[in-house]
Amino acid sequence: MNFRDRTIIVTGASRGIGAALAKAFAAEGGLVVVNYLSNEAAALQVVEACRALGGQALAIAADVTSEAEVAAMMARIADEVGKVDAVVNNAFAPYVFDPDDRTRFWDTPWSAYQAQFDGALKATYNLCQAVLPLMKQRLRGSIVNMTSDLVARPSIPYHDYTTAKSALIGFSRTLAAELGPLGIRVNCVAPGLVYPTDASRATKEEVREALIAQTPLRRIATPEDITGPVLFLASDWSGFVTGQTLHVDGGLVMT
């Protein structure tokens, strides 16, 4: 896949899956906007890695749950770059995947759901609204939203997180129907457990081993396993694909 002369925004790109995605786009020649919330040093390390891989990169701090901060980020991109070809909505509200210490439904306040809705859905809404004028000008673009295979198979009931990701899939399919006539595609990538990341470090070895035993490919994904499917959906190779959710979990979910 060739992303030369393409501009890609990756939110939450200073670590984990987001950092792996930024570097993968850069390795294919892309100009990557490395969005981050607060860890400037980590974001700049990702920028350096992107440039070492042959791409271009720009780090921009913005809380994607803030409409004003997203607007400011997009104004800078419009001024310095002038276009956006693809957006990967990867950022999400902080969450720890720990089956033993997870909050049971009867102890989960609505505020926990709201935090996850803001991190998954409001953040995606803000960025889609902000990037739409640039994409409409060129009648093309790809939006990839990161969801979870827990929506299809809630093997561990992380209530607030999974509910928010479910809503994100519904949002994405509806947006795909709206934006298709404008040449803008919207798809989702739904990973299973990805290890190691900051969110998954608390997932104990016995839980990981149980998931591995149920997974046809007999392992758990690394951040790098997620990059190929995302790049595919962001590229011209998937030019006739929209409104889809691609599960990237070694076959744990088959639909």
Q: Is the pLDDT of residue 25 over 70?
A: yes
Burial of 255 (0-12, 13-18, 19+ CB in 10 A): exposed
Confidence band for 228, pLDDT divided at 50, 70 and 90: very high
Residue with tokens 């350096």: 48
Is the pTM here over 0.85, yes or no? Answer: yes
Provide the residue ranges of all domains of the chain, joining segments of one domain with +.
7-248
Which amino acid, 32?
A: V
Confidence band for 80, pLDDT divided at 50, 70 and 90: very high
pLDDT at residue 97, rounded to an integer: 85
Helix, coil or strand: residue 7: strand
Q: How many angstroms separate the first and last alpha carbons of the chain?
A: 27
Order the strands of the 56-61 sheet from edge to edge.
56-61, 31-36, 7-10, 86-89, 141-146, 184-191, 245-248
- Secondary structure (DSSP) of 18-53: HHHHHHHHHHTT-EEEEEESS-HHHHHHHHHHHHHT
pLDDT at residue 1, rounded to an integer: 74
> How many whole angstroms separate alpha carbon 66 and alpha carbon 69?
5
pLDDT at residue 255, rounded to an integer: 65
Confidence band for 196, pLDDT divided at 50, 70 and 90: confident
> How many whole angstroms separate alpha carbon 243 and alpha carbon 145?
11
In this structure, what token pair is assigned to residue 223?
A: 């951040």
Q: Which CATH architecture fits 7-248?
A: 3-Layer(aba) Sandwich (3.40)
pLDDT at residue 98, rounded to an integer: 85
Residue 82's contacts (CB-CB under 8 Å, 6 or more residues apart) are: none
What is the per-residue burial (b if ≥16 Cβ within 10 Å, else e) of 166-190? bbbbebbbebbeebeeeebbbbbbb
> How many whole angstroms separate alpha carbon 87 and alpha carbon 72?
16
Catalytic residue among 36, 95, 161, 195: 161
In this structure, what token pair is assigned to residue 27?
A: 């390795």
Q: What would the mean pLDDT of 226-238 be, rounded to a whole number?
A: 97
Q: Whole-number mean pLDDT of the chain?
A: 95
Active site residue 161: yes
Percent of the chain past pLDDT 90, that is, above it, reads: 86
Give Cα separations from 212 to 102, 125, 190, 198 (angstroms): 21, 34, 17, 20
Instruction: List pLDDT tens digits, range 172-190.
Output: 999 999 999 999 999 999 9
pLDDT at residue 99, rounded to an integer: 85
Do 119 and 65 form a contact (C-beta atoms < 8 A)?
Answer: yes
Confidence band for 107, pLDDT divided at 50, 70 and 90: very high
Residue 51 vs residue 254, higher pLDDT: 51
Instruction: List pLDDT tens digits, range 32-49.
Output: 999 999 999 999 999 999
CB-side exposure of 24: number of CA atoms within 13 Å? 22
Q: What would the mean pLDDT of 224-243 be, rounded to a whole number?
A: 97
